[in-house]
Amino acid sequence: MANFNTHLLGGTVASGMLTSSILLTGLFNPGQGMAFWVAGIIASLAPDLDADTTAILRGLFNALGMMASFFILFTFPELPLLFMWGAMLAAFLCVRFGLLKVFASLTEHRGSFHSLLAAVSFGLLAVFLSWRFTQQGIDFAWALGLMVFAGYLVHLILDECYAVNLSDMELKRSFGTALKPVSIQNWWASGIFLAIAVYCAIQVPPPQKLHQEVFVVAGVKFK
């Protein structure tokens, strides 16, 4: 499989190319373009969340642990200072180590996270969250979701490319485990991804101008 640096480089280059194409539509400003680029890079690393020892997974749960600590701080401001510190530390440790251990035990590397269904699910989830919780508009939300989907897909493609031994003209055992439509073995996780994708697709409205402008940039003309 491709290593971290390969995924980071591939995601950076591919996201940059796609971001530049999206900006040619004229619908977004450079600041929004930077958000697209960063989203694509992060998404290109996301499939390895199911690898128990990856730095990405540890970083994610470190961030979630910090969020849990601040949740305690803002939810129970009346607590005495020492109790507050203790509760914040307990919240961080529970998430960073306890919740991480549960997540690691429930997931399997090259399982449901390495599938086209997961890529679609993360893309649609990005659209939904952007549409509901930002003021950037529906076209921005769909463009962001497209970047997340594309970045995620780049990771899967790179993993499959590295599963081909060109020198001996043979396939490695890992071939076919990344770019699969859905994980049957991890059916329950695939079911969760499917539910997320269907819910988000039903909730979000269609783009207003993005799809038309993308075709224009691609040179497709409508009569």
Give the containing element (helix H, strand E) for 129: helix 116-133
In order, the DSSP letters of 104-123 are: HHH--TTSTTSBHHHHHHHH
pLDDT of residue 108: 63
Distance, CA of 126 to CA of 50 (rounded, Å): 19
Q: Using one digit for the tens of pLDDT, what is the confidence trace for 1-21? A: 567 788 888 989 999 999 999
Q: Using one digit for the tens of pLDDT, what is the confidence trace for 160-186? A: 887 654 444 455 555 556 688 888 877
pLDDT of residue 154: 93
The number of residues making up the chain comes to 223
Match 């993308």 to its residue by tokens: 214
Q: Is the pLDDT of residue 49 over 80?
A: no
pLDDT of residue 135: 84
Distance, CA of 19 to CA of 190 (rounded, Å): 29
Q: Is the pLDDT of residue 203 over 80?
A: yes
Distance, CA of 92 to CA of 99 (rounded, Å): 10
Distance, CA of 165 to CA of 163 (rounded, Å): 6
3-state SS class at 173? coil
pLDDT of residue 214: 76
In this structure, the number of other CB atoms found within 10 A of the CB of residue 60 comes to 15
